[in-house]
Amino acid sequence: MTYFKYLYLFILCLLSCVFFAQSKSTNIKNINGKKYYIHKVEKGQSLYAIARLYNIDINSVLVENDDALDGLKNGQELKIPFESLLPKQTVLLDTVKYVYHKTEKGETVYGITKKFNIQETQLIHLNPQINNGLKEGVYLIVGEKKKSEPKKEIVKNKEVIESSRNSNTYNVLPGETLFSLSKKLNLSQDKLLEWNPEIKEGLKQGKLLHITPPLVTETTEIKPVSSLTVSETSNENNLNDTKLFNKTRKSSYSVGLMLPFKLVESEGINVEDLLKNKSSFPSTQSLALDFYFGFKKAVDSLITKDFDVEIHLFDVDERDSIKVEEICNTSEFKNLDVIFGPLYSGVFKLVSNNAKKSGTPVISPLTQQNKILYNNPYVSKVNPSQYTLIEGLADYCLDSLKSTSNIIIVNSTKKDIPYLQAFKSRYNESLTKKHHQGKDSIIEVKGISGVREAYNPTKKNVVVLLTNNQVYLQDFITQLYMISNKRDIVLMGFQSISSNDNLDQDYLNHLNFHFPAPNKVDLKDSTFMPLVKNYQSSYYTDPSEYFFHGFDIATYYLTQLKSEGPHIFLELDKKNWVGVSTAFKFYRPDYETGFENRAVYIYKYSNYQIQKLGWK
């Protein structure tokens, strides 16, 4: 664990540069024929942050400022050389101006020049550090990006719409969807379906659509989306959706990652004491770090010469809404292309409301509450709600245990009644659709005596216990175990049952306990092993589940962004995917609401192991 703890301190140093609004000094002097910035140290600045600000390595700063070895003081003046012998290129990459290549093991200067059709003298001029040798993992400038002509997409849309207005029809172009057409033509999807009922079966390239009703008055006017203003539309979300659809695909994206690193609190952590006492780091900081490590691992695997991601880290405390508001008002925040986090619901709404103004997608990695999705089509949440997990369990009961099972649901406490209703509603609704059976087929009982009475010896008896009340759980399951001898009983409930330390795990194994979960993590699974080994070699410990969360979330969203462009954040329900630990199956009820991931894994206890049965 030692390496991991010191790595944590390194990340704290790295983050320190994110939370200070810094700019290069304008005080420039020539000293002994050499040009320097004269930088005045601000309170809280670290040497790493200053070196990053000027895009040079720390050693170059220390060479010119011997007293900095003893620590920095507020107001201290440092000489920062204009040029560093060892440029820290990976800190600030000008991806707008230059094309970069990350060197691989065994590569040579000659090989790179041939690969990118660049003269060796030009490559050295752009990357003078390679005179000292070529190192693996270094970003080299291999060319300048050509300035593209301003895009005329909006003008084209206007021409298309004007042409369509004259003919009252529209010819569907490649890749267009009903949703994108409704924005381009400023027509509701309902109208398009009303005038073209055949497209309910799907929209095809070349299809000629009617874009006006049978009778059109001379005053009818269809405006291009570029001419709309907020005052001309009653639906602000439609305007925001248009903004996102009009964002073009880029080769470089700025991604915000909001995690609870809790830097101020962490400054009081004594690493030596933790190591001496073999203590663990606070759980919140460890969670944030592991999520970041997984996220960064995925980003590194996706970066190519045509796709770059610049991660902006923000230390976001769930209780500090003032600080979050300050972050949202910065130009750094407003220039983000997509935001991941905050992790919990505390300040998420504040972030998503500010991001909505510019049409910036915001992803919630861990929040279960669906209320964060309301009235914001740009929001998506990865963690299914408690009710979605319940519905997944109900679907499994019907699909896998068949309708011939005897389903007994336990009415445990008043607080849990909504859970019971959600399960019964889903199960009976699905049963009606599949078997055309309209009656309530679930037996609702009170306590263990009710289970005894409802037990049917000719069927598989499924006892559904939807409560998180640990005292009730322990007592009920103990009694259920005692009456289950030679009886066909399967217990189903929440995942929290399996984490009850006072409950004998033998009971759960004997009762074939089933539960729904939002993800899977089994370090023995072959799909996990490459990531696990990589993590262990880097941090000398095992990864937590949050490492895999970060990896899957970054992989899913950024892969879509890379291949489809920004508009994909409004079409997530068309892109199902199964990651290492998380599956993605998005749903949203309407176009004013965000997306919820409804992929649910089902597990059961079998032979004293937890077995994954699949996902719904």
Give the per-residue pLDDT at 150.
41
> pLDDT tens across 499-523, in order?
777 778 888 888 999 999 998 766 5
Residue 248 is classified by DSSP as P
> pLDDT tens across 22-32, in order?
567 888 888 88
- Residue 428: half-sphere exposure toward Cβ, Cα within 13 Å: 13
Residue 524's Cβ-count burial label (10 Å; 0-12, 13-18, 19+) is: exposed
Average pLDDT over residues 99-124: 81
Residue 275 has pLDDT above 60, yes or no: no
Residue 600 has pLDDT above 90, yes or no: yes
Give me 593's structure tokens: 């609401």
Name the CATH topology of 153-245.
Membrane-bound Lytic Murein Transglycosylase D; Chain A (3.10.350)
Note whether 586 and 575 are within 8 A (CB). Answer: yes
Give me 579's structure tokens: 């990651």
Using CA atoms, how far residue 76 sits from 42, 65, 68, in Å, is 8, 11, 9
Q: Based on C-alpha coordinates, what's the Rg of the chain?
A: 29
In the chain, list all ranges with CATH 3.10.350.10.
13-81, 98-144, 153-245
- Comparing 592 with 14, the larger pLDDT belongs to 592
> pLDDT tens across 434-486, in order?
765 556 678 999 999 999 999 998 888 999 999 988 888 889 999 999 888 77
CATH top class, domain 386-517: alpha beta
Average pLDDT over residues 112-117: 83
Spatial CB neighbours of 32, under 8 Å, sequence gap ≥ 6:
none
The overall average pLDDT reported for the chain is 77
Give the per-residue pLDDT at 3.
45
Name the CATH topology of 252-384+526-595.
Rossmann fold (3.40.50)
Count of Cβ atoms closer than 10 Å to residue 162 Cβ: 11
Using DSSP, state whether 237 is helix, strand or coil. Answer: helix
Average pLDDT over residues 596-602: 93
Residue 418 has pLDDT above 80, yes or no: yes
Note whether 302 and 525 are within 8 A (CB). Answer: no
Give the per-residue pLDDT at 163.
42
Average pLDDT over residues 208-220: 52
Among residues of the chain, what percentage have pLDDT more than 70?
74
Question: The whole model's pTM is what?
Answer: 0.62
Whole-number Å distance between alpha carbons of 134 and 448: 72
Using CA atoms, how far residue 445 sits from 104, 449, 572, in Å, is 65, 8, 40
Note whether 604 and 521 are within 8 A (CB). Answer: no
Spatial CB neighbours of 432, under 8 Å, sequence gap ≥ 6:
438
> pLDDT tens across 219-269, in order?
333 233 332 233 333 344 444 455 555 577 888 999 999 988 776 555 555
Q: What is the 3-state secondary structure (H, E, C) of 559-590?
A: HHHHHHCHHHHHCHHHCCEECCCCEECEECCC
Residue 204 has pLDDT above 80, yes or no: no
Task: Out of 3.50.50.60, 3.10.350.10, 3.40.50.720, 3.40.50.1100, select the CATH number for domain 13-81.
Answer: 3.10.350.10
* Backbone torsions φ then ψ of 146, nearest 5 degrees: -75, 140
Residue 614 has pLDDT above 60, yes or no: yes
Q: How confident is the model at residue 432 (pLDDT cuts 50, 70, 90)?
A: confident
Spatial CB neighbours of 496, under 8 Å, sequence gap ≥ 6:
468, 470
Give the closest residue to 257 by CA, choosing from 209, 284, 294, 226: 294
User: Which amino acid, residue 159?
Assistant: E
Spatial CB neighbours of 139, under 8 Å, sequence gap ≥ 6:
89, 90, 93, 100, 101, 102, 103
In this structure, the chain runs to a length of 616
Residue 609's Cβ-count burial label (10 Å; 0-12, 13-18, 19+) is: exposed
- Comparing 274 with 323, the larger pLDDT belongs to 323
Spatial CB neighbours of 41, under 8 Å, sequence gap ≥ 6:
50, 72, 73, 74, 75, 76, 77, 78
Give the per-residue pLDDT at 151.
38
Give the closest residue to 255 by CA, choosing from 292, 306, 305, 304: 292
Using DSSP, state whether 616 is helix, strand or coil. Answer: coil
Give the closest residue to 455 by CA, choosing from 488, 411, 497: 488
- Comparing 83 with 276, the larger pLDDT belongs to 83
DSSP string, 89-137: TTT---TTTEEEEE--TT--HHHHHHHTT--HHHHHHH-GGGGG---TT
Please give the span between the terminal C-alpha atoms of the chain, in angstroms, as a whole number: 37
Note whether 38 and 81 are within 8 A (CB). Answer: no
Q: Which CATH superfamily is domain 98-144 in?
A: LysM domain (3.10.350.10)
Residue 562 has pLDDT above 50, yes or no: yes
Whole-number Å distance between alpha carbons of 39 and 26: 9
